Structure 1
């Protein structure tokens, strides 16, 4: 298929035409289907209870029906031996790359973990503080659809391990050898060869005991990782019963460029994003038309040599991609903050200063050489990032998704605590909570509790 460079891959729009798109990431049809799958899998049909693990026989049947595992396979598990064999079977180059990526992601995640510590302060009459502790079991999902994504295995499982999770359960359908190898180096404790809503349900509700189809699976305290619309729908169903990282929509990149930007580099980054999925989106904000024109031409030139199916996927994704001519870089920053893109690249002069002006994004990539794909493949920061404008209020996957900050207080000196007691009595009665007031009065050295007055 030849590419006509006169076609506009990046639809030109004006700043006024840019709308803040906060779309519901949960597809209604996928949600209904995910509910049916989960109901089919659980041993209890009462969705209002916390009882009812996943039936392993049903799980295997559903996994076969949906193409997760072949008809002649009767297990939902990939053993640690399989994962190690896959790792050992890699070429020296592939193995070294996996080891290097693992090391960089581990270093960053460990630094994050070490950045938050237990603390305590003095309070009247005692101490108060918080403890930082990991959840016990983490569920990690890695897509297994259009492309195998061993990088997602490392990003999720390594981060959970760095947080200190005792058990890491990984799920990925139809795992390629490189995915199994990534699970080995990431230290996953269980590998479920299933995907979609069935994988999320299994990690959320667990499998009670070892059985003919595989081992017991613990109920995971939090479930993380990117996935298709059924994964996202299932995560929306189980959140609350367990924690989740985010409800992620289609992937996106936004590049802020000026006259100093390398058009070929920017085009390559836009294409890299577009080949993710037909619903992915690439956005260009620039302060001059010549920059936009050069990047547009470079996109066409490079897309013409992209192999299939990548070319068709990227071409379709460009249909919802666009370019905006802004009056200056500051207007680019304003529009970018409104969009709050998943990936934000700054390819301008004084790129770091421009980056510091930006407030809303998932991950920031500063300068021509800081390619977003380097973030995808293990520069250190996690590549699981908020999409669809949610970067306005949340960040990407990190060790903090697996950590619990729990507070405590202790009173050692009752006399010294009386100012807090008195304030609590007053505030409780202002709120109309007499029982609260009396509970505080029970600790008072000067005020007789109301319940005693009533008794007398």
Structure 2
């Protein structure tokens, strides 16, 4: 059901298990965004030129339902919330509370520095003005993504928020009612029944009844990812999130049933999802391999899970020891990294590259997906080595505000003049000397003669 990759003895034999080697030995699912770009480019350009009508036509083609008014009526949002199962509503309320608390702690404040008397530089954290939030609606209606996108944006202070989610044939062309209910819970009134690359283009370029946005966030399929890449010249994006992935670093203190359940939890997202166990314990590896078929047989999405676990992107990786295992998962840079070892907290502190780290046997990824307070929109495909997950800071811009007095400028003026001449930019120097006509003219010459 899941392949083995044995890395034991390789380092002793002289091999170097660096980032490149790990990516070759533990490959991910093939995700050809460039090929998908060829598909979405004409769609995005068509939406740019024809706007609303183009979005409607592509919605009918890809979602198999014709939607005449993309804007979800306020009454539909209200009804969805009224009809939401009370237990589910309570769960979402707790999720919202926790994500909001973490986001408020992360928000940060303006920072004021005074590099010289009378010279002040303030870094202001300014919210993006308008954001388009994408919520998938394919294999699963990810209403939890509404929470993960909207709450940090609200805490950041974004004033204009619009949500897009694909129209559902079973619900009369509206997005899934749970998605609508959570939007209503959060006070989001601008919701559109549109999905795929046409929704991303609609947000990027604007269309009749919907102003263009400054930033687009939220996960989606490969065509959504490709569309986000295509429109980056128009708007900002959070990331190019690919298929979900989990890596579990575990030793013989881990519970094989728990590890197997965690691997399956991510595999049920997508046939291209990656589930990787890294362990120095052959006994644990064997126990997990035996446990997987038992649990998969009982899961609802068995076919999808089996395809994901059997793909090249999933594996049980045997290593010499936990130190080597730590190096492997750090190089792998998983979206979700679980550490189930006797020294889990200490191991977690050694990791630099992961979208989110789940420490110990009682912190499964599912907790982070819903109710840990953390965000589940995370970098995939190894991008955790340079990117962060979605957070309140994703919706903030840092702006430096420089405020110098006459005396503070005078004290540093000659340095500015000298550096300007060193770069052969005398106009830069003149912008300073013009303010001090009583001072002798600078005689510095450009560094190159």
TM-score by length of structure 2 reads 0.89
The CA deviation at 1:223 is: 0.5
Measured in 2, the distance between the counterparts of 1:425 and 1:124 equals 20
Task: Give the 3-state SS of the residue equivalent to 1:132 in structure 2.
Answer: strand
Aligned equivalent of 1:397: 390
> Which residue of the other structure, out of 130, 136, 139, is the alignment partner of 1:143?
136
Alignment of 1:32-431 (within 5 A): 32-43=38-49, 55-67=51-63, 70-71=65-66, 73-113=67-107, 115-174=108-167, 175-207=175-207, 209=208, 216-307=209-300, 310-318=301-309, 319-320=311-312, 321-412=314-405, 414-431=406-423
The CA deviation at 1:107 is: 1.5
> How many aligned positions are there?
420
Measured in 2, the distance between the counterparts of 1:19 and 1:416 equals 53
Measured in 2, the distance between the counterparts of 1:160 and 1:125 equals 35
Measured in 1, the distance between the counterparts of 2:62 and 2:329 equals 39
The CA deviation at 1:25 is: 5.3
**8 Å Cα contact 1:253/1:270 also seen in 2:** yes
Unaligned runs of 5+ residues in structure 1 are: 1-7, 44-53, 210-215, 451-456
The CA deviation at 1:26 is: 5.3
The CA deviation at 1:267 is: 0.4
Aligned equivalent of 1:213: none
Measured in 1, the distance between the counterparts of 2:189 and 2:71 equals 11
The CA deviation at 1:438 is: 2.0
In structure 2, relative to structure 1, the CA distance for the partners of 1:145 and 1:129 (3 Å cut) is same
The CA deviation at 1:125 is: 3.6
Deviations 1:265-305 (A, max 9, x none): 00000001111111110111111211111111111211121
Unaligned runs of 5+ residues in structure 2 are: 11-20, 168-174, 444-449
Q: Does 1:19 align with 2:13?
A: no
The CA deviation at 1:10 is: 3.6
**8 Å Cα contact 2:4/2:318 also seen in 1:** no
Measured in 2, the distance between the counterparts of 1:447 and 1:87 equals 73
The CA deviation at 1:447 is: 3.1
The CA deviation at 1:124 is: 4.7
Backbone CA RMSD of aligned residues:
1.9
Measured in 2, the distance between the counterparts of 1:399 and 1:25 equals 28
Which stretch shifts more, 124-133 or 150-159?
124-133
Deviations 1:224-283 (A, max 9, x none): 000011111110011132111001111110000001001000000000111111111011
Q: Does 1:435 align with 2:441?
A: no
The CA deviation at 1:62 is: 2.1
Task: Give the 3-state SS of the residue equivalent to 2:63 in structure 1.
Answer: coil
Deviations 1:53-80 (A, max 9, x none): x622222222212226x23x31112123
TM-score by length of structure 1 reads 0.88
